[in-house]
Amino acid sequence: MDGFHGIISIFQAISLADEIIVRSLKQQEHIEIKGTFDCPPEKTTFYKAAMAFREATGEKGGLSVTVDKVIPAGAGLGGGSSDAAAFLHAVNALFETGLSETALLELGAKVGSDVPFFIRGGTALVTGRGDLVEKMETRVDYACVVVYPGFAVRTREAFDLLDRERPEPSLENDIPPRGLMEAYRESITDWPFANSFERHIARAHPEIGYWIGKLKESGADFARMSGSGSALFGIFMDRAKALKAVRELSLQAGAGFLVASAFPLARPSGLI
């Protein structure tokens, strides 16, 4: 046992994103990380990615990262992993180190389990500990509404809870990987996808079930918890309904909650 858990999941990159500005500094080896985080700067995925990048390339140039966080921490939305992936793309371009996508994927795996997916973006079947990524064709015939219910769920705590509540995971009726890929192409109203964390997290946090219900009442054709929580997402085949749901749910949620519309992305967003 290495402490990691295996997953079988479909990941989708969406247009909800943090804003990250990366600059070079004259002071060699200096790393400056500015932003509001739930941990010290040296514990962020930015710092881990910077160390991995320097070890791989020998580049000692100073760098500065300024982050405007939009993706909530502890929401199961991959905010830290996507930030690290964007950062690796950025420093590779900034310092002209010419790392291939394969090299970036290897670096990403050293930073965090889900980082390799965000190096490529789009849609993928993700297995292993999150490091085995098989590209899929992205559907763009829907809109997504994301609700952050105002509290975080730490990934380790979620897995610990799952281990306690579900001591024998092999008894779950999981859809095999090929079946997941085939199901993704079916009508959204027929999607059989489930989240192993959802009912256990919802037992501790009734807000999970409440907001899934609200998404469905607003016209979502499919709704689930994202990853290990706490964010919820609704899939709308009608984009006008999605935008209306954002307006209505934002009024109900009030301050401290994120309710945002997002769209599936077939590739990582471009660097400026």
Q: Which residues pair with 123 in a beta bridge?
A: 12, 136
* pLDDT band, residue 4 (cuts 50/70/90): low
Per-residue pLDDT, averaged over 248-265, amounts to: 90
Residue 260 predicted with pLDDT over 70: yes
Residue-wise pLDDT for 203-227, tens only, equals 999 999 999 999 999 999 999 999 9
What is the total count of domains within the chain?
2
* Matching residue, tokens 């791989």: 56
Per-residue pLDDT, averaged over 128-149, amounts to: 93
User: 44 in a domain, yes or no?
Assistant: yes
Do 130 and 150 fall within a single domain? Answer: no
Residue 2 predicted with pLDDT over 50: no
Domain containing 87 equals 9-134
Do 129 and 149 fall within a single domain? Answer: no
pTM here is 0.91
Residue 15 predicted with pLDDT over 80: yes
With CA atoms as reference, report the closest residue to 211 among 142, 143, 145.
145
* pLDDT band, residue 59 (cuts 50/70/90): very high
Per-residue pLDDT, averaged over 27-52, amounts to: 95
Peptide bond into 230 cis (omega under 30): yes
Q: What are the angstrom distances between the C-alpha of 88 and each of 24, 77, 182, 242, 268?
A: 14, 19, 32, 33, 12
Total residues found in the chain within this entry? 272
Residue-wise pLDDT for 170-206, tens only, equals 556 678 999 999 999 999 999 999 998 999 999 999 9
**Cα–Cα distance measured from residue 120 to residue 135, given in angstroms and rounded to the nearest whole number:** 8
- Beta strand 9-12 with 123-127 is antiparallel
**Burial classification of residue 11, based on how many CB atoms lie within 10 Å of its CB (0-12 exposed, 13-18 middle, 19 or more buried):** buried
Looking at residue 236, which CATH number applies to its domain?
3.30.70.890
Do 129 and 147 fall within a single domain? Answer: no
Indicate the average pLDDT of the chain. 91
**Cα–Cα distance measured from residue 115 to residue 78, given in angstroms and rounded to the nearest whole number:** 8
Do 112 and 178 fall within a single domain? Answer: no
Do 95 and 167 fall within a single domain? Answer: no
Tell me the DSSP string of 89-103.
HHHHHHTT----HHH
Q: Which of 51-55, 81-85, 196-200 has the lowest mean pLDDT?
A: 196-200
User: Which residue spans within the chain are E strands per DSSP?
Assistant: 9-12, 19-25, 31-34, 62-68, 123-127, 132-136, 143-148, 222-225, 232-236, 258-262
Amino acid at 93: A
Do 80 and 194 fall within a single domain? Answer: no
pLDDT of residue 268: 67
**Axis crossing angle, helix 239-253 with helix 207-217, rounded to the nearest 10:** 140
Do 110 and 213 fall within a single domain? Answer: no
* Matching residue, tokens 């909530």: 72
Residue 156 predicted with pLDDT over 50: yes
With CA atoms as reference, report the closest residue to 121 among 31, 14, 233.
14
Amino acid at 31: I
